[in-house]
Amino acid sequence: MFAKRTNWNMTPNRLSEALAAHRAAGKPLLDLTVSNPTECGFKYDSAAILDALRNPAALSYEPNPRGLESARRAVAGYYADREEHVSVEDIFLTTSTSEAYSYVFRMLCDPGDEVLIPSPSYPLFDFLADIQDVRLVRYPLLYDHGWQIDFHALEQAITPRTRGVIVVHPNNPTGHFAKQAEMAKLNSICSAREMAIIADEVFLDFSLDGTRRASFAANRGAPTFTLSGLSKISGLPQMKAAWLIAGGPQPWKREALARLEVIADTYLSVNTPVQLAIPKFLEQRHAFQEQLMSRVRRNLAELDRLLAPQKVCSRLAVEGGWCAVLRVLAIRSDEEVVLELLRSKGVYIHPGHFYDFPSEGYLIVSLITRGEDFARGMANALILFR
């Protein structure tokens, strides 16, 4: 009686079973996969956050498919602070970037149409696409002292059913930003074939060297959807506040905005108290990002210090985001390495296949892990890799 699109394999995998057993046994765990910023010991201005949710204006309902103008002005202000112009009329508020993806997929794709996604990338895409009847086709990212898009493979992956290309900027977990030349190439590929760029910029502000990277939000060279939100930018995933920006050449943009308006008007999904609080939540980003980046830089420095005297494990170059990719000898499967690490050392890290790495020998660690846990976990892991 269920739709085939929900025929997922729901049996727990070996790793999640082992992790659940480890936790159930009450054994100590050094979790180097943490991604929930509210559980990583960052200091939030609790009073300001809670006060922002007590706005008396929340007692009245003024439905607007794009979301309250005051919130959209704050989002446009976020881009203005980065010296990029985004019109409030091009912004739609959503409850998450995942929801924003669903609007975009629904608008661009008939069942079975295709969207290109980078590989490696984060694992939620498969479910988002299944739910919307979209077929994902991978294009590889190549590593050679740094990551880059394999444009040859990307172009080969395009079929008459391809509707868009997802770019995660910077990518999770590789941490690489799309460069100006890559943005220009994406524009020329997408504008020539009536495809959209779908730019996921949830980690845009987290640049390791502190330089500001250009957003796709002000891109005019091809139909573009830019997705971001407060779950990463302000470290407030629990507030369920994100946005989608439509940009690109006219008359495409006018048509896209009209269609998005109908989709958004059908759900009107973001609640009023949160919309009213978005300006204050966005202000919180400065203090949050400062703490987060100093943790990421410290953990990365500790990682490099631990890696320096040995040769069995190295890390790939990282430009931004919250993760580091480790390279280890591929004499066993990544899953076996991770399982043994959990059993023998109580350290949990992600195997590369979790993020769709094409071969064995890659492990992913979260750089937002508390410093002490990170240092102990990595030191233990390196003993095992020897």
Residues lying near ligand PLP in the complex (CB under 6 A):
35, 96-98, 122, 168, 172, 200, 202, 229, 231, 237, 242
Going by DSSP bridges, is the β-strand pair 135-143/114-119 parallel, antiparallel, or unpaired? parallel
Smallest separation, CB 275 to ligand PLP (Å): 15
Contact call for residues 349 and 32 (beta carbons, < 8 A): yes
Contact call for residues 219 and 198 (beta carbons, < 8 A): no
Smallest separation, CB 44 to ligand PLP (Å): 17
Q: In the complex with ligand PLP, which residue's Cβ is closer, 237 or 346?
A: 237
User: What is d(CA 143, CA 147) in angstroms, rounded to the nearest whole number?
Assistant: 4
DSSP 12: P
Q: In the complex with ligand PLP, which residue's Cβ is closer, 117 or 313?
A: 117
Give me the residue label for tokens 């868009």: 164
Q: In the complex with ligand PLP, which residue's Cβ is closer, 86 or 242?
A: 242
Smallest separation, CB 202 to ligand PLP (Å): 4
Contact call for residues 128 and 298 (beta carbons, < 8 A): no
* Phi, psi angle pair for 135, to nearest 5°: -95, 125
Cβ atoms within 10 A of the Cβ of 184, count? 13
Q: In the complex with ligand PLP, which residue's Cβ is closer, 55 or 98?
A: 98
3-state secondary structure of 196: strand
Smallest separation, CB 280 to ligand PLP (Å): 18
Q: In the complex with ligand PLP, which residue's Cβ is closer, 127 or 294?
A: 127
Smallest separation, CB 97 to ligand PLP (Å): 4
Smallest separation, CB 98 to ligand PLP (Å): 4
Smallest separation, CB 193 to ligand PLP (Å): 24
User: What is d(CA 103, CA 213) in angstroms, rounded to the nearest whole number?
Assistant: 26
Residues with Cβ within 8 Å of residue 165, at least 6 apart in sequence: 115, 116, 139, 154, 186, 189, 190, 195, 196, 197, 198
Structure tokens that stand for 229 in this block: 């939100």
Residues with Cβ within 8 Å of residue 271, at least 6 apart in sequence: none
Q: In the complex with ligand PLP, which residue's Cβ is closer, 174 or 191?
A: 174
Q: In the complex with ligand PLP, which residue's Cβ is closer, 175 or 248?
A: 175
